[in-house]
Structure 1
Amino acid sequence: MDEAIHAFQQTRMRQVTGPSADVPPVPVLHRQAAVLAVAESARILEIAVRVALDGRRTPPFEPRELFWYAHAPASQLWILRFTGNLTLRSVQFQNAARIALALAAARLVAGSLDLNHGFWVLLAVLTLSRTTAGQTWAVIRTAVAGNLVGAVAAGALLIGLGQHIEAYAALLAPGMLLAFALGPLLGIAWAQGLFTLVVAIAFAQIAPATWRLAEARIVDVVTGSAIGLLCAMLAWPAGARREVRRTMADLLHACTPLIRGTVAVLTAVPPGSATPPPTQPALHRLRLAEAAYDQFRSEPAGSRPAQADWHAVLIAAGQVLLGAHWLPRFDMPATALPPDDADRARAGGHAVADTTVRLACLCTGDRPPPGVATRTTPCSPVGPPLPALVDLDVWLRSLDAQFARIEAGLPETAGRAAPGTAAAPAAGHMSGPRRPEG
Structure 2
Amino acid sequence: VRRLLEQLAHLTETGEFRAFVREGSGAAGECGGGRTATAAGRPLLQQVVFLCEETAAALRTGRAAPGPQPMDKAIDAFQRMRVRQVTGSADEAPTVQGPAPAPVPVPVPVLRRQAALLAVAESVRILEISVRVGLDGRRTPPIEPRELFWYTQAATPRLWARRITGNMTIRSVQFQNAVRIAVALAAARLVAGSLDLTHGFWVLLAVLTLSRTTVGETWTAIRRAVTGNLVGAVAAGALLIGLGRHTDAYAAILAPAMLIAFALGPLLGIAWAQGLFTLVVATAFAQIAPASWQLAEARIVDVVTGSAIGLLCAMLAWPAGARREVRRTMAGLLQECGPLIKGTVDTLTAVPPGSVPAPSTRPALHRLRLAESAYAQFRSEPGVDAPVRADWHAVLITAHHIVLGAQWLPRFDLPMAALPPDATDRARAGAHALAQTTDRLAALCLGRQP
Aligned to 2:416, which of 328, 334, 338? 334
Q: Is the 8 A contact 1:270 1:335 kept in 2?
A: yes
Q: CA deviation at 1:58?
A: 5.3
Are the structure 2 counterparts of residues 24 and 138 from structure 1 closer, same or farther at C-alpha, using a change threshold of 3 Å? same
* AA aligned opposite 2:414: M
Alignment of 1:21 onto 2:21: no
Residue 327 of structure 1: how far off its partner (Å): 1.0
C-alpha offsets along residues 2-38 of structure 1, whole Å, 9 cap, x if unaligned?
1121122223234443154274321121121111111
Deviations 1:399-438 (A, max 9, x none): xxxxxxxxxxxxxxxxxxxxxxxxxxxxxxxxxxxxxxxx
**Residue 130 (1) aligns with residue 200 (2):** no
Alignment equivalent of 1:83, drawn from 156, 161, 165: 165
1:223 pairs, out of 305, 311, 318, with 305
Matching residue of 2:36: none
1:342-357 equivalent positions in 2, closer than 5 A: 342-357=424-439
Q: Identity, % of aligned pairs?
A: 77
SS of the counterpart of 2:382? coil
Shift in Å, 1:46: 1.6
Q: Distance in 1 between matches of 2:198 and 2:242?
A: 23
The residue number in structure 1 matching 2:247 is 165
Secondary structure of the 1:89 match is: coil
1:5 maps to 2:75: yes
1-side partners of 2:198 and 2:414: how far apart?
Answer: 72
Give the alignment of 1:316-395 within 5 angstroms.
316-368=398-450
Aligned-residue offset at 1:60: 4.8
Partner residue of 1:107? 189
* CA–CA distance in structure 2, aligned partners of residues 242 and 14 of structure 1: 50
Q: CA deviation at 1:287?
A: 0.5
1:289-304 to 2 correspondences below 5 Å: 289-304=371-386
User: Do the aligned partners of 2:210 and 2:221 also contact (CA within 8 Å) in 1?
Assistant: yes
The yes-or-no answer on 1:265 pairing with 2:347 is yes
Letter in 2 for 1:219: V
Work out whether residues 345 and 427 of structure 2, in 8 Å CA contact, stay in contact via their aligned partners in 1. Answer: yes
Instruction: Name the stretch that deviates more: 37-46 or 219-228.
Output: 37-46
Supply the distance in 1 between the matched residues of 2:127 and 2:402 (Cα, whole angstroms). 16
Residues 51 and 58 in structure 1, CA contact (< 8 A), matched pair in contact too: no
1:171–1:113 Cα change, 3 Å: same
Question: Offset at 1:57?
Answer: 2.2
Residue 96 of structure 2 aligns with an amino acid whose one-letter code is A
TM-score for the superposition, normalised by structure 1: 0.82
Shift of 1:142: 0.5
1:36 is matched with which residue: 118, 130, 133? 118
* Counterpart secondary structure, 2:399: helix
- Cα distance per residue 1:290-321 (max 9 Å; x no partner): 11011000001422111111011110010000
- Structure 2: stretches of 5+ with no match in the other structure: 1-70, 98-104
* CA spacing shift, 1:200–1:335, aligned 2, 3 Å: same
Matches within 5 A, 1:304-323: 304-323=386-405
**Aligned amino acid, residue 212 of structure 1:** Q
Q: Deviation digits for residues 26-66 of structure 1, max 9, x if unmatched?
A: 11211211111111121112222222332222535001122
Tell me the secondary structure at the aligned position of residue 148 of structure 2: coil
Could you report, residue by residue, the CA deviation over 1:373-415 in whole angstroms, capped at 9, with x for unpaired residues?
xxxxxxxxxxxxxxxxxxxxxxxxxxxxxxxxxxxxxxxxxxx
Task: Tell me if 1:151 matches 2:271.
Answer: no
Q: Is contact 1:89-1:247 (8 Å) kept?
A: yes
Contact 1:254 1:281 in 2 (8 A): yes
1:111-150 CA distances to partner (integer Å, 9 max, x unpaired)? Answer: 1111100000000000000000000000000110001110
The one-letter code of the counterpart of 2:300 is I
Contact 2:140 2:153 (8 Å CA) reproduced: no
Q: What corresponds to 1:116 in structure 2?
A: 198
Q: After alignment, is 294-303 or 228-237 more displaced?
A: 294-303
Structure 1 gap ranges (5+): 369-438
Contact 2:341 2:431 in 1 (8 A): yes
Q: CA deviation at 1:328?
A: 1.1
For 1:237 and 1:61, locate their aligned partners in 2 and report how far apart those are by CA, in whole Å. Answer: 43
**Helix, strand or coil for the counterpart of 2:346?**
helix
> Structure 2: how far apart are the matches of 1:212 and 1:297?
42
Which portions of structure 1, spanning 4 or more consecutive aligned residues, are displaced by more than 6 angstroms?
A: none
**Aligned equivalents of 2:307, 2:192: Cα separation in 1:** 13
SS at 2:333 equivalent:
helix
Q: Which amino acid aligns with 2:157?
A: S
**What CA distance in whole angstroms lies between the structure 1 residues aligned with 2:94 and 2:406?**
32
Match for residue 245 of structure 1 among 327, 330, 337:
327
Whole-Å separation in 2 of the counterparts to 1:366 and 1:93: 26
Greater relative contact order (Cα < 8 A, sep 6+): 1
Counterparts of 2:126 and 2:119 in 1: how far apart (Å)?
Answer: 11
State the structure with more CA Rg.
2
2:236·2:296 contact (CA, 8 Å) conserved in 1? yes
Superposition map of 1:268-279 within 5 A = 268-279=350-361
Aligned-partner Cα distance in 2 for 1:270–1:8 = 22
Answer yes or no: is the 8 Å Cα contact 1:129–1:232 preserved in 2: yes
1: CA distance, partners of 2:398 / 2:130: 19
SS in 2 for 1:365: coil
- Which amino acid is 2:252 matched to? A
Using the TM superposition, name which of 233-242 and 58-67 deviates more: 58-67
Partner residue in 1 for 2:17? none
Amino acid at match of 1:303: D
